[in-house]
Chain A
Amino acid sequence: MIRAFCVWLAATPLSVMIGSTRWVVPMVQTLHILAIAVVLSSVLMLELRVLELAGRSQSVMQAARRFLPWLLGGLAVLAMTGALLIVSEPQRSLVNSAFWTKMCLLALAVTATLGLQRAQWRIVASQEQPCPAGVAARAIAVLTFFLWVAIVVAGRWIAYVEHG
């Protein structure tokens, strides 16, 4: 069924247009990489704040207010440019184990950062005496950062895995 969907998608006017214009794919990939820069660096700064390795003049919640909007904006750009790359060559990603690994890791990372960690920070912020992050929160911060790194690795690997 996925293959039939790929064949249909590859025949849509948008896919044909992207495929016939030489500069579209490298340009969309460039935007994708720039958005990765925004997301990865935002996550890095947030996790460094949790680990008290950066931005200690501010609370974790203040750091979250500074970087979460950029993280979300970056993710939106990644979703759009990523969707365009799929449309341009559906088989390359939809019939590709690296792509589906990336999607699973993405779901985990979004849950870890925007669900678990954000909930943690809210609890810390609601306490009267803000205390430094405990061992568990620090471990989650390190793991979450490497989860985002793993997404980038899996993304690059889409290009290397035999597809179709």
Chain B
Amino acid sequence: MSSMDSINEFADWLKDTPVATFVQESEWAFQALETVHVLALTLVVGTIAIVDLRLLGLASTDRPVTEIARDCLKWTWGSFAFALLTGGLMFTSNAVKYLGAFPFRMKLLFLLLAGLNMLVFQLITARGIADWDRDRPVPLNGKIAGALSLTLWIGIVTFGRWTGFVINPF
């Protein structure tokens, strides 16, 4: 059995779980989930963009990169937890359809790439951060990380909105 088959089987099983049935049949659950999802994702993108713009030397250049990251990233992660939870529940309600939708697959791919970009930045680029923490133009590696992050997150929002357009949950 291919991995795609087992993913589809999982999605098929998911749609008959009590949680999925509840989200499908409730008069208000999907709307409430979508609203919290929008709030959470705007805070994820907005707070991470503040860090990205600092890396690119376009804003907050009078403050060290680490200070901006410390102020912002806890809110990014906290909001991401809400976005993941609400997104996961909406996905559960219609897993087979979402998995088959092109924009949803692109969104997952971009999320993966954004995660990898962050990992590379944390593990490699940020190793010598003490040397350039206060620099206005940060080293090229840092700028690339910021530009990639900004681009990927704009893409994630775009594919997310597109997903909502091609899949009618009601």
Instruction: List residues of chain A with CB under 8 Å of any chain B CB.
Output: 25-27, 29-30, 33-34, 36-42, 44-45, 48, 54-55, 57-58, 66, 70, 149, 152-153, 156-157, 160
| B35 engages A26 (CB within 8 Å) | no
Kindly list chain B residues whose C-beta atoms are within 8 Å of the C-beta of A66: 59-60
Give complex CA distance A26, B63 in Å. Answer: 36
Is there an interface contact between B39 and A153, defined as CB atoms closer than 8 Å? yes
Chain A CB within 8 A of B55 CB? no
Contacts of A26 in B (CB 8 A): 161-162, 165
Count of chain A to chain B residue pairs whose CB atoms are closer than 8 Å in the complex = 77
In the complex, which of the residues A54, A70, A156 contacts B38, with contact meaning CB atoms closer than 8 Å? A156
Question: Could you say which of B38, B41, B49, B161 contacts A38, with CB atoms under 8 Å apart?
Answer: B49
The smallest C-beta distance from B82 to any residue of chain A, in angstroms, reads 12
In the complex, what distance in Å separates the CA atom of A36 from the CA atom of B40? 11
Are the CB atoms of A33 and B157 closer together than 8 Å? yes
Give B residues with C-beta under 8 Å from A: 31, 34-35, 38-39, 41-47, 49-50, 59-60, 62-63, 67, 71-72, 75, 154, 157-158, 161-162, 165
Would you call A38 and B46 a contact (CB within 8 A)?
Answer: yes
Name 18 A/B residue pairs within 8 A (Cβ), A-sorted: A27-B158, A29-B161, A37-B157, A40-B43, A40-B46, A41-B43, A41-B47, A44-B46, A45-B50, A45-B72, A48-B71, A54-B71, A55-B63, A57-B63, A149-B39, A152-B38, A153-B35, A160-B31
Write out the residue numbers on chain A whose beta carbons fall within 8 Å of the beta carbon of B47: 41, 44-45
Q: How close is B79's CB to chain A, nearest CB, in angstroms? A: 9
B72 to chain A, nearest CB (A): 8
- The smallest C-beta distance from B136 to any residue of chain A, in angstroms, reads 15
Q: Give the top 10 A-B pairs by smallest Cβ distance, nearest first.
A: A41-B46, A37-B46, A37-B42, A54-B71, A37-B45, A156-B35, A30-B161, A36-B42, A26-B165, A30-B158
Q: 5 new A-B pairs (CB below 8 Å) besides A33-B42, A38-B46, A44-B75? A: A38-B49, A45-B71, A45-B72, A66-B59, A66-B60
Q: Which residues of chain B are within 8 angstroms of A152 by Cβ–Cβ distance?
A: 35, 38-39, 42
Q: How far is the CA of A37 from the CA of B41 in the complex (A)?
A: 8
